[in-house]
Chain A
Amino acid sequence: MATTSATPPGAALRAPARAAERQPLRRRLRPGLYHAVMLAAAFVWLAPVLWMLSMALTPNDALQRETVGLVPAGLTWSNFVDVFRVGNMPRWFFNSFLVTTVTTVLTVLFCSMAGYAFAKIQFTGRALLFAVVIAGLMVPKEALFIPLFLTFSDAGQQNTYQALFLPRIAFPLGVFIMTQFFARVPSEYAEAARIDGAGRWRTFWSIMLPLARPAMASLAIFTFVLTWNDYLWPLVISTEREMFTVTTGLASLQSNFAAATEVGSLMARGLVGSLPLIVLFLLFQRQLIRGITLGSGEK
């Protein structure tokens, strides 16, 4: 205990004696208790997912007779196999994958370019344009799906891929994040490139972008999760089953009568539809969390 040196001498004499009695027992019990409680809490929190897995591994007819617990009754893989053999799931998976990837790539690219311009290029009207983009942070997308729908339906663009990804790219929060990032990059880097004779585009592409990799990764993961999970806009603009995404497709299955008889298949579809995000989460948890804290304006 280094702290005893700062406490009054009297206390210093008594404190070690008491600490010596109490500390070993506390030290042994505390972490054990803490981990027991936390493990129980984590288990309860994840139980719904485990239950989903258990049902997905149980044959459909067994599920009609009884409710299974967290242990599957009669192990089967057929529910998972059927995900890719029966129904539209493969198509929805492809749709989600395509739309999410395009959205993520374009969002990160456009936001990085805009962030670089705002942070590193001194041009007239910069402050005004930045204010206009920042005002977009206060525009709730969820309140705009009616006019957005009209824009796309008037152009005959319902049930197309571009209708699914275009509105998502306009992501002012991404510009905000990237501007904050580039503003902190010392200008000497760009100066050095200029002395080497690199143009702005080249400076951006071969010096700024590599520097921005961590911020871009956070923005990318964040965008990917948000886009994959988007529900309202795909529901509005994609009305043909072939153009559903995983999220709207899974939702459409739940109002279906099969929801009562093929619970196992349904759960398997839910798990497969979530799988890309679970994998992404396990691989890039740190970047995702950083994206969230950056996006909240906290950092």
Chain B
Amino acid sequence: MTTTALPVQSSTSVPATAGRPRRPRSRPLAAGLGFLAPFLLVYAAFVVWPVLQALRMSLYDWDLLGFTRQFVGLANYRRMLWGTEMTWTIGHLALVRVLLLAATAAVVARGLQRGSARRSLIAVAAAGLALVLVLGFHPGAGGAWNDPAFWASVRHTLAFTAISTPILVGMGLAMALALHGSHRGTGFYQAAFFLPYVLPISAVTLIWSYLLNPDRGLIARVVGVVGVDPIAWLSDPDLAMWGIVLTTVWWSAGFNLVLFLAGLQDIDPSLYEAASLDGAGRWQTFRHITVPGLTQVSVLVSVTQLIASFQVFGQVYIMTRGGPGDSTRVLIQHIYEAGFRDLQLGYAAAVSLFLFTVMAVVSAVQFKLVSREA
């Protein structure tokens, strides 16, 4: 369609410009900057500048109402990351640190195998070891974190990410596999599974707050038929996060479905033909063609999902306000409330930069994965 429009376009432009001399393209710099100017302007103002501004604010005691703007050095960071009576022990968070160490070793080993640049491998190793080392610090006897609510919100965010990511990725993959192939009507099923993704988050929470309601919800009614007592999903501190996860899975599994389906369609069809020529069964075909063909996209989806899960906010804030107690309070809520409830923009900026750093690192990994593929 677009290519047929082309000759028409150029032939109509001929009479209009025939009399004029050809314009020499002598100033590509001006042209390039001209085309880039509108984007670069908003980019500088609303992406680059806020990063610098956050760095500055995090060094200040910066009141939302503008009464105090006082330089305090690293006090905000000390409040966020430090505590009283701090000690360092080898056994603190042992499991997490051992896993981290193993992950670092795995990445470096793989890099050595593939002959990656030595410098980047050293950087990865150094960052991993430093993190393992730093995680050994914690408040000793009689001490406490300066801001325990910050650490609680980090824990809840990590818990949400750890629970929701495998479920969301697994669901997306399962749906994609179910839809892949030449069945008729898959378009309809795909639309059904994908539809919730386009709903505004507040419409999703509206439905799910009622669905999960133990007295009036549809879920309680359905399980009631089987004789199971209704579960008070959102008012039980142990279950609230699962209620949020359930809501999130329904809302965004379709997104992963789409990515996996694209990945499945990218697998060279001739591989399947060759397999069937060789008399491979369904399982063998799946095991030796589909699975390896999906490795790259699976990693990509997982990392994308990790980034998305780490910024969870809307569903939590609307459905539970971080409760009951603070059992579902996540990092962005901590930032939001530090800034707009406690009016401490400086501290909020420091916590923002913490989130920023974590997410930028994961995004960098994702970017590396994508650009390696391209």
State the A residues within 8 Å of B (CB). Answer: 3, 6-7, 11, 31, 34-35, 38, 41-42, 45-49, 51-52, 55, 67, 69, 109-111, 113-114, 116-118, 121-126, 129, 133-134, 136-151, 166-167, 169-170, 172, 175, 189, 192-200, 202, 204, 206-207, 210-211, 213-214, 225, 228-229, 231-232, 235-236, 246-251, 254-255, 263, 266-267, 270-271, 273-274, 277-278, 280-282, 285, 288-289, 292-293, 296-299
In contact, B23 and A197 (Cβ under 8 angstroms): yes
State the B residues within 8 Å of A (CB). Answer: 2-3, 5-6, 9-10, 13-14, 17-18, 20-23, 25, 28-29, 31-36, 38-40, 42-43, 45-51, 53-54, 57, 178, 183-185, 188-189, 191-196, 198-203, 205-211, 216-218, 221, 250, 255, 258-259, 262-263, 266, 276-277, 279, 297, 300-301, 304, 307, 311, 313-314, 317-318, 321, 332, 335-336, 339-340, 345, 348-349, 352-353, 355-356, 359-360, 363-364, 366-367, 370-371, 373-374
In contact, A172 and B32 (Cβ under 8 angstroms): no
Q: Which of B202, B216, B301 meets A67, CB within 8 Å?
A: B216
What residues of chain B lie closer than 8 Å to A3, measured between beta carbons?
Answer: 276-277, 279
Q: Which 5 A-B pairs have the closest CB atoms?
A: A123-B32, A297-B370, A117-B35, A147-B53, A250-B202
In contact, B195 and A121 (Cβ under 8 angstroms): no
A123, A144, A145, A214 — most chain B CB neighbours (10 Å): A144
In contact, B198 and A278 (Cβ under 8 angstroms): yes
In contact, B207 and A298 (Cβ under 8 angstroms): no
11 more A-B contacts (CB under 8 A) besides A49-B207, A138-B367?
Answer: A42-B188, A69-B221, A114-B36, A146-B345, A206-B9, A247-B201, A251-B205, A292-B255, A297-B374, A298-B266, A299-B262
**Known contacts A42-B192, A67-B218, A113-B35; A270/B203 CB under 8 A:** yes
In contact, B332 and A232 (Cβ under 8 angstroms): yes
A selection of 24 A-B contacts at a CB cut-off of 8 Å is: A45-B250, A51-B207, A110-B38, A134-B367, A139-B51, A140-B355, A140-B360, A147-B51, A147-B349, A151-B49, A166-B42, A196-B17, A210-B5, A210-B6, A211-B2, A225-B198, A231-B200, A250-B206, A254-B202, A255-B321, A270-B202, A281-B194, A292-B255, A296-B304
Q: With the chains together, A236 CA to B5 CA distance in Å?
A: 45
Q: Which of B32, B194, B311 meets A126, CB within 8 Å?
A: B32
Q: Which of B3, B35, B336 meets A114, CB within 8 Å?
A: B35
In contact, B39 and A114 (Cβ under 8 angstroms): yes
Q: Which of B13, B20, B200, B352 meets A143, CB within 8 Å?
A: B352
In contact, B45 and A170 (Cβ under 8 angstroms): yes
In contact, B194 and A296 (Cβ under 8 angstroms): no
In contact, B374 and A146 (Cβ under 8 angstroms): no
Question: In the complex, how many angstroms separate the beta carbon of A74 from the nearest chain B beta carbon?
Answer: 17
Question: In the complex, how many angstroms separate the beta carbon of B307 from the nearest chain A beta carbon?
Answer: 7
Question: In the complex, how many angstroms separate the beta carbon of B208 from the nearest chain A beta carbon?
Answer: 7
In contact, A48 and B208 (Cβ under 8 angstroms): yes
What residues of chain A lie closer than 8 Å to B21, measured between beta carbons?
Answer: 197
**Known contacts A144-B356, A229-B201; A197/B57 CB under 8 A:** no
Closest residue of chain B to A285, judged by CB? B191
**Known contacts A197-B17, A202-B13, A274-B200; A254/B36 CB under 8 A:** no
What residues of chain A lie closer than 8 Å to B6, measured between beta carbons?
Answer: 189, 207, 210-211
Q: Do most interface residues of chain B lie in helix, strand or loop, or is the interface mixed?
A: helix
In contact, A151 and B53 (Cβ under 8 angstroms): yes
B17, B258, B359, B374 — most chain A CB neighbours (10 Å): B258
In contact, B209 and A254 (Cβ under 8 angstroms): yes
Q: Which of B22, B51, B196 meets A144, CB within 8 Å?
A: B51
What residues of chain A lie closer than 8 Å to B205, measured between beta carbons?
Answer: 251, 254
Q: With the chains together, A67 CA to B205 CA distance in Å?
A: 18
Q: With the chains together, A246 CA to B47 CA distance in Å?
A: 25
Q: With the chains together, A251 CA to B316 CA distance in Å?
A: 11
Q: Which of A51, A124, A148, A150 meets B211, CB within 8 Å?
A: A51
What residues of chain A lie closer than 8 Å to B370, measured between beta carbons?
Answer: 296-298
In contact, A292 and B218 (Cβ under 8 angstroms): no
In contact, B32 and A281 (Cβ under 8 angstroms): no
Q: Which of A51, A121, A246, A288 meets B35, CB within 8 Å?
A: A121
Q: With the chains together, A254 CA to B207 CA distance in Å?
A: 11
What residues of chain A lie closer than 8 Å to B263, measured between beta carbons?
Answer: 298
What residues of chain A lie closer than 8 Å to B259, measured between beta carbons?
Answer: 292-293, 296, 298
**Known contacts A146-B352, A150-B345; A172/B47 CB under 8 A:** yes
What residues of chain A lie closer than 8 Å to B184, measured between beta carbons?
Answer: 31
Question: In the complex, how many angstroms separate the beta carbon of A256 from the nearest chain B beta carbon?
Answer: 12
Question: In the complex, how many angstroms separate the beta carbon of B297 from the nearest chain A beta carbon?
Answer: 6
What residues of chain A lie closer than 8 Å to B250, measured between beta carbons?
Answer: 45, 48
Q: Which of A139, A141, A274 meets B199, CB within 8 Å?
A: A274
**Known contacts A166-B46, A196-B13, A280-B198; A48/B211 CB under 8 A:** yes
Q: Which of A117, A124, A228, A280 meets B36, CB within 8 Å?
A: A117
Q: With the chains together, A167 CA to B185 CA distance in Å?
A: 40
What residues of chain A lie closer than 8 Å to B196, measured between beta carbons?
Answer: 45, 48-49
Q: With the chains together, A207 CA to B8 CA distance in Å?
A: 10
In contact, B47 and A139 (Cβ under 8 angstroms): yes
What residues of chain B lie closer than 8 Å to A138, measured between beta carbons?
Answer: 360, 363-364, 367
Q: Which of A48, A124, A134, A211 meets B29, CB within 8 Å?
A: A124
Question: In the complex, how many angstroms separate the beta carbon of A258 from the nearest chain B beta carbon?
Answer: 12
Question: In the complex, how many angstroms separate the beta carbon of A63 from the nearest chain B beta carbon?
Answer: 8
Q: With the chains together, A255 CA to B332 CA distance in Å?
A: 19
In contact, B36 and A113 (Cβ under 8 angstroms): yes
In contact, B318 and A251 (Cβ under 8 angstroms): yes
Question: In the complex, how many angstroms separate the beta carbon of B127 from the nearest chain A beta carbon?
Answer: 16
What residues of chain B lie closer than 8 Å to A189, measured between beta carbons?
Answer: 6
What residues of chain B lie closer than 8 Å to A144, measured between beta carbons?
Answer: 47, 50-51, 54, 352, 356
Closest residue of chain B to A249, judged by CB? B202
Q: Which of B22, B32, B216 meets A121, CB within 8 Å?
A: B32
Question: In the complex, how many angstroms separate the beta carbon of B203 from the nearest chain A beta carbon?
Answer: 4
Question: In the complex, how many angstroms separate the beta carbon of A270 from the nearest chain B beta carbon?
Answer: 4
What residues of chain B lie closer than 8 Å to A263, measured between beta carbons?
Answer: 210
